[in-house]
Structure 1
Amino acid sequence: MHARRLTGSLACLVVLTLTAAGCGLSGGSDDGDATAGGCKVDKGNVGSGKLTGDVKGKITFQTTNLKKDFGGFFNGVIKDFEKANPGTSVKWIDDPGDSTFTQRTVADAQGCTMPDVINIDAPTATALTKAGYLLDVGVKDPDAAKPFVPAFWKSSTYKDASGTAAHTVLPWYTGGVLLTYNTDMLKKAGIDPAKPPKTMFGLFADYEKIAKSAKGKYFATMANPIWRIPADWDQMDIRTLSADGKSAVFADDPRTAQWVAWMAKLYKGGAMPKDSLSSSNDPSTPYSQGQVAYGSTNPSFVRFVKQNSPSVYAKTGVGQQPFDALGHTTAAPQYISVAATSKHAPTALAFAKFLTNAENQTAWCKDPNVVIFPTTTTSLDDPFFQNATGSDPFSQARKLVAEQLKTTTAYQTNISPAVQKAIVSQVQLAMQGKKSPEQAVKDAQEKANDLLKQAG
Structure 2
Amino acid sequence: MKRALMTLSALALLGTACGQTGSAPQSPAQGSSAAAPASVEPAKTSDKPVELQFMFPVAVGGPITKLIDQLAADFTKENPNIIVKPVYGGSYQDTMTKVATAVQGNNSPDLAVLLSTDLYSLLQMNAIEDLTPRFSKEYFGGFYEAFMGNTKSGDTVWSVPFQRSTIVMYYNKDLFKKAGLDPEKPPKNWTELKEAASKLTVKDGSGKVTQWGVEIPSTGYQYWMLQALSLQTGTNIVSNDGKNVYFNKPEVLESLQFYADLGRKDKVMPEGTLEWATVPSDFISGKTAMMYHTTGNLTKVKTDAKFDFGVAMLPANKKFGSPTGGGNLYVFKNIPEERKKAAVKFIEFLTTPDRVAQWSIDTGYVGTTKAAYETDKLKNYIKDFPQAAVARDQLQYADIELSTYQNGQVTKLFNDNIQAVLLGQMSPKDALDKSQQQADDILKNFRK
Provide TM-score, normalisation by structure 1. 0.70
Tell me how far apart the structure 2 counterparts of residues 97 and 75 of structure 1 sit (CA, whole Å): 18
**2:379 aligned with 1:359:** no
- Give the match for residue 164 of structure 2: 174
Number of matched pairs: 394
Alignment of 1:268-307 (within 5 A): 268-273=265-270, 276-280=271-275, 282-299=278-295, 301=297, 303-305=299-301, 307=303
Tell me how far apart the structure 1 counterparts of residues 435 and 378 of structure 2 sit (CA, whole Å): 44
Tell me how far apart the structure 1 counterparts of residues 202 and 164 of structure 2 sit (CA, whole Å): 36
**2:400 aligned with 1:411:** yes
- Secondary structure at 2:248's aligned position in 1? helix
In the TM superposition, what is the alpha-carbon distance from 1:212 to its structure 2 partner?
A: 8.7
Tell me how far apart the structure 2 counterparts of residues 14 and 325 of structure 1 sit (CA, whole Å): 41
Q: For 1:20-76, what per-residue CA distance to the aligned partner results, in whole angstroms no more than 9, with x for missing partners?
A: xxxxxxxxxxxxxxxxxxxxxxxxxxxxxxxxxxx9962423131478423552233
Q: For 1:227-263, what per-residue CA distance to the aligned partner results, in whole angstroms no more than 9, with x for missing partners?
A: 6433243353244356665665322224524541563
In the TM superposition, what is the alpha-carbon distance from 1:217 to its structure 2 partner?
A: 5.1
Alignment of 1:110-121 (within 5 A): 110-121=104-115
Tell me how far apart the structure 2 counterparts of residues 187 and 117 of structure 1 sit (CA, whole Å): 48
- For the 8 Å contact 2:99–2:109, the answer to whether it is kept is no
- For the 8 Å contact 2:170–2:293, the answer to whether it is kept is yes
- For the 8 Å contact 1:120–1:334, the answer to whether it is kept is yes
In the TM superposition, what is the alpha-carbon distance from 1:424 to its structure 2 partner?
A: 1.5
- Give the match for residue 371 of structure 1: 364
Q: What residue ranges of structure 2 are gaps of 5+ in the alignment?
A: 21-46, 59-63, 404-409
**Cα separation, partners in 2 of 1:278 and 1:327, compared to 1, 3 Å:** closer
In the TM superposition, what is the alpha-carbon distance from 1:94 to its structure 2 partner?
A: 0.7
**2:422 aligned with 1:427:** yes
**2:85 aligned with 1:102:** no
- Secondary structure at 2:83's aligned position in 1? strand
**2:257 aligned with 1:263:** no
- Give the match for residue 186 of structure 1: 176
In the TM superposition, what is the alpha-carbon distance from 1:141 to its structure 2 partner?
A: 2.9
- For the 8 Å contact 2:256–2:428, the answer to whether it is kept is no
Tell me how far apart the structure 1 counterparts of residues 16 and 138 of structure 2 sit (CA, whole Å): 31
In the TM superposition, what is the alpha-carbon distance from 1:412 to its structure 2 partner?
A: 0.7
Q: What residue ranges of structure 1 are gaps of 5+ in the alignment?
A: 19-54
- Give the match for residue 25 of structure 2: none
**2:56 aligned with 1:64:** yes
Tell me how far apart the structure 2 counterparts of residues 189 and 256 of structure 1 sit (CA, whole Å): 32
Tell me how far apart the structure 1 counterparts of residues 185 and 296 of structure 2 sit (CA, whole Å): 22
In the TM superposition, what is the alpha-carbon distance from 1:382 to its structure 2 partner?
A: 2.5
Specify which of 312, 335, 345 is matched with residue 342 of structure 1.
335
- For the 8 Å contact 1:331–1:408, the answer to whether it is kept is no
- Give the match for residue 318 of structure 1: 311
Specify which of 369, 390, 400 is matched with residue 400 of structure 1.
390
In the TM superposition, what is the alpha-carbon distance from 1:106 to its structure 2 partner?
A: 2.7
One-letter amino acid matched to 2:52: T
Bigger Rg, which one:
1
**2:157 aligned with 1:195:** no
In the TM superposition, what is the alpha-carbon distance from 1:451 to its structure 2 partner?
A: 6.7
Tell me how far apart the structure 2 counterparts of residues 218 and 355 of structure 1 sit (CA, whole Å): 41
- Give the match for residue 332 of structure 1: 325
Specify which of 443, 447, 456 is matched with residue 431 of structure 2.
443
- For the 8 Å contact 1:136–1:168, the answer to whether it is kept is yes
Tell me how far apart the structure 2 counterparts of residues 157 and 305 of structure 1 sit (CA, whole Å): 29
Specify which of 151, 155, 160 is matched with residue 157 of structure 1.
151
Tell me how far apart the structure 2 counterparts of residues 57 and 130 of structure 1 sit (CA, whole Å): 32
Q: For 1:274-303, what per-residue CA distance to the aligned partner results, in whole angstroms no more than 9, with x for missing partners?
A: xx5224263333333433221353446555
- Secondary structure at 1:115's aligned position in 2? coil
**Cα separation, partners in 2 of 1:306 and 1:56, compared to 1, 3 Å:** same
| Residues 334-343 or 9-18, more deviating | 9-18
One-letter amino acid matched to 2:253: T
**Cα separation, partners in 2 of 1:244 and 1:377, compared to 1, 3 Å:** closer
One-letter amino acid matched to 2:373: L
In the TM superposition, what is the alpha-carbon distance from 1:114 to its structure 2 partner?
A: 1.7
Tell me how far apart the structure 1 counterparts of residues 376 and 327 of structure 2 sit (CA, whole Å): 23
- For the 8 Å contact 1:229–1:424, the answer to whether it is kept is no
**2:223 aligned with 1:229:** yes
One-letter amino acid matched to 1:60: L
**2:207 aligned with 1:240:** no
- Give the match for residue 52 of structure 1: none
Tell me how far apart the structure 1 counterparts of residues 5 and 266 of structure 2 sit (CA, whole Å): 29
| Residues 5-14 or 205-214, more deviating | 5-14
Specify which of 58, 79, 84 is matched with residue 82 of structure 1.
79
